[in-house]
Amino acid sequence: MRRRGFTLMELLLVVGLMAIIATLAAPSFTRMMAWMRVRRAANQVAVDLARSRHLAVRWGQRSVLRIVRAPECPGEGGHVYWAVVRRGDDSVHFRTDLRPAGGRVCLRMNGSDSLVFTSRGILYGFNNRTLVVSHGSSPALDSLTLSVVGRVMRRF
């Protein structure tokens, strides 16, 4: 009579091979997760840029989006930014923290640490701005270029 099933030796061999494969795949999985965190944060920044511009046009007032500097981010970068639109005594503001969704994500921008949209949705200063989203010491980064007229171009 023939038995069905696997021997203990066969099961140990399969589990050992799976452990070796998992060990080899772990570094690439870590890089992929860093890349996905950077992309998620860059998407959030792109949405908030459009939102800030929209509020400036809708309310007919200038809108300021400012990055709050953080010591753990390189240069003058940060992981928190806020935007404010004021109209008389009334104001609309929002604050975004990129860390909860993305781990060690930092945002930095060429020029100053703030963007100002005029009441027509045009970027104040009349020059394009580049925002770079990075993940700690990982090589994963994503950049967004904001044109003077408020369009966002992504470079992956």
Cβ neighbours for 82, distance < 8 A, ≥ 6 positions apart: 65, 66, 68, 93, 94, 95, 96
> Residue 1 — pLDDT band, cuts 50, 70, 90?
low
Domains along the sequence of the chain with CATH: 8-155 (3.55.40.10)
Counting beta carbons within 10 angstroms of the beta carbon of residue 142, is it exposed (0 to 12), middle (13 to 18) or buried (19 or more)? buried
pTM score, two decimals?
Answer: 0.79
Taking only the tens place, the pLDDT of each residue in 66-112 is 998 888 887 778 888 888 888 777 787 888 888 875 578 888 888 88
Taking only the tens place, the pLDDT of each residue in 32-68 is 888 888 888 899 999 999 999 999 999 899 999 999 8
Cβ neighbours for 108, distance < 8 A, ≥ 6 positions apart: 67, 73, 74, 75, 76, 77, 78, 131, 132, 134
Cβ neighbours for 102, distance < 8 A, ≥ 6 positions apart: 37, 38, 40, 41, 135
CA 55 to the chain's CA centroid? 21
Count of CA atoms in the C-beta half-sphere (13 A) of 97: 5
> Residue 16 — pLDDT band, cuts 50, 70, 90?
very high
